Each structure stands twice: as structure tokens, then as C-alpha cells.
Amino acid sequence: MARKPRINRPGAFYHVLLRGNNGQDVFFSNGDRSKFCLLLQEGIERFGHQIHGFCFMVNHIHLVLRASQNPLSHVMHHLSFRYTKYINRRISREGHLFQGRFKAILIEDNEYLTELIRYVHLNPVRAGLVKQPEDYFWSGHRVYMDLETLPWITQDWILAQFEMDKTAARKRYQRFIQLGIGQKSHYADFFESGLQENRILGSSDFVENVLHETHQVSKPVPTYSIEELVDLICHELGVSKDIVKSQSKVKDVLQLRAIIALFVHRAPHLTVHAFASHIGRDASSVSRLACNLERKVQKEPELSSLIAKIQDRLDALKTI
């Protein structure tokens, strides 16, 4: 039976799994793991995707990845090829390092995503390598706990699912992780009950929408600059674009920035860092604005209607 094609969805989250060929090791020293980190960072700079969580085990690798406009297959083939070339040269071996093609599961951005993060970051504990996840130095958990810094890890989006204040979010994240120790993984439960066609994990509505999209004729994706996005949204709301860069912290201005930040975050060709630089703000605070508004959109019909109206205007833009 022919393999089903990968689902390429810009801006979507994926659980990516790389396994050693025939179960063999893929890391032979901590230096190898450091090299893989460097290649991950270089890949992010080149392709524009994000890594929200990871775990390097001895013979397999977990990544929680948010896709960019570039196909996921390009990203992973580039990464695995460069790392295999490095290992083969370093230990004088030949042939494939990884087993077949990588596995990628499209994940719905809700409780499935937070459960995936817990599943990935607790891998060393379940394997009996450590008793506490922070004792394992090759996963994203230590970054989330502020025990170390890796510039290529994006953590604000996940932390915002717990609390908008970063300090409070870390505490809630830590409790969430601790609750998973010694228990069967809820992600495994989701995987067993919700996985569709070995490619998608989410609610039935999410799965149905994704499958529906994949059967449609591909449409050009509108592209626009941050300046054009600001102009469009300000025009739609009937306000001056100058207030976006102002020092004002009144409620309406904060909401305006949050709306723009939300559309920046949703756009695979734009980055929160670029928008933050554009308005002279910190990228973390801008990201929190977007996350907070994403929650409100789901609860407030009037706001949801406004966001949908702006999205329609963006969709009508000509592609470049």
C-alpha cells in the first residue's frame, strides 16, 4: 500500500520523531548532542520554523516543532542529512543513521499540545534515566524551568497556556509536569484513542477540518509585510497606525497591539521578534499579548467576529 503524503500545514504543531536505524544509537557522546543542537539552531535560522520542546534519547529524538512556510520534509531532511554526515565522518562509519523517513504527527493546539510537551519532557524519567526531569540535561524541560538558556527554543507559547505571568506560568508548568510522573501518559491515551491515519492527533472536528483541507486544491497563500498588516488592521478599526508604536498602555491600544501580534503569530512568513522590533517592545511581552488574545477570541463572540473579518480581508490580498 502506498504511503500517504505528509500533511503540510504552515503554522501547525508537529510531534517529530527520529529513530536510529535498526534501533541503533544516534548519539555517541555529549559532543554529538551539542552538534545536533547547533544544527537545529542553524535550521531554524534558515527555514524559519520553531522548536517548542525536545528530548534527545540515546537512540531516538523527539521534537515539538511548529512549521513555517517551508515544507517539514525539507527541514528534517536537511537536519538528518547534515547530522548523519557529521557522525559518519567522526566515527568512520557509512550508511544510514536514522530509520527510514522521520515520523511527524500533526497536533491540535490545545490540551493535546501541552500533553505532548509533558510526554516529551518526561521521556528520560519514564526510561529510568533520572528521577526528576530537570536532572536530564538533554531536553527542553530545563529551559522551561529557567535552569539554562537555549536561544533556539520557543517557550512563551506553551507557558502562556498555563498563565500569562511568566513566573506564575513556570510554577503551573512545573506542577503539570510533576503530576505526570509515575502515571500513564495522557498523551499516550490521546495517541491511542485520537490518532487518525497515523498523521493527525486532535479532536474529531480538528481531524475532519485538516483532512478536508488536504483534499482541496492548493490555493496561493497571501503574503504581506508587517507594515501592511498594521495598516490594514488600523484601517479596519478606524485608528491611526501611529498609536501602535506609542508608549500608551490604555486598554484599547493594548488590544490593538494584541490583535496585530495575533495575526503576526498566525502568519508563517512573519515573526513576533520582527513585530516587537518594529514597535520597540520586548518579544516575550508581545508573544504573551497574542496568546492571551487567542484565548479571549474563543470566549467572546464579538471579538471572534472582528478577528474573522480581519482574516477575510487578509485572505483577499493578492499573493506575491
- CATH code of the domain covering residue 236: 1.10.1750.10
Would 108 be classed as within a structural domain? yes
Same-domain status, 185 and 250:
no
Quick one: 189 and 114 in the same domain? yes
Give the pLDDT score at 3.
60
- Say if 4 falls within a structural domain: no
Q: Which of 214, 240, 265 lies at the terminal end of a domain, its last residue?
A: 214
- Answer yes or no: is 94 within a domain: yes
**Mean pLDDT of the region 270-290:** 83
Is the per-residue pLDDT at 196 higher than 60? no
Do 148 and 103 fall into the same domain? yes
Q: Are residues 208 and 230 in the same domain?
A: no
Residues 255, 203: one domain?
A: no
Count of domains for the chain: 2
Residue 58: half-sphere exposure toward Cβ, Cα within 13 Å: 7
User: Are 205 and 234 in the same domain?
Assistant: no
- In tens, the pLDDT along 69-119 reads 888 999 999 999 999 999 999 999 988 999 888 999 999 888 889 999 999
Domain interval for residue 113: 13-214
**Same domain as 286, residue 189:** no
Q: With bands split at pLDDT 50, 70 and 90, how would you rate the model's confidence at 274?
A: confident
Residue 212 pLDDT greater than 80, yes or no: no
Percent of the chain with pLDDT over 90: 54
Cα–Cα distance between 226 and 112 in angstroms, integer? 30
pLDDT band at residue 303 under the 50/70/90 scheme: confident
pLDDT > 90? residue 287:
no
Residue 191 has a pLDDT of 56
pLDDT at 217: 41
CA-to-CA dists, residue 166 to 51, 70, 73, 128, 135, angstroms: 19, 30, 33, 30, 22
pLDDT computed for residue 320 by the predictor = 42
Q: What is the pLDDT of residues 126-172, one digit of tens each?
A: 999 999 999 999 999 999 999 999 999 999 999 998 998 999 999 99
- Kindly tell me if the per-residue pLDDT of 295 is higher than 80: no
CATH number at residue 42: 3.30.70.1290
Mention every residue, 6+ apart, whose C-beta is less than 8 A from residue 55: 61, 62, 120, 121, 123, 124, 136, 138, 139, 140
Q: Is the pLDDT of residue 190 over 80?
A: no
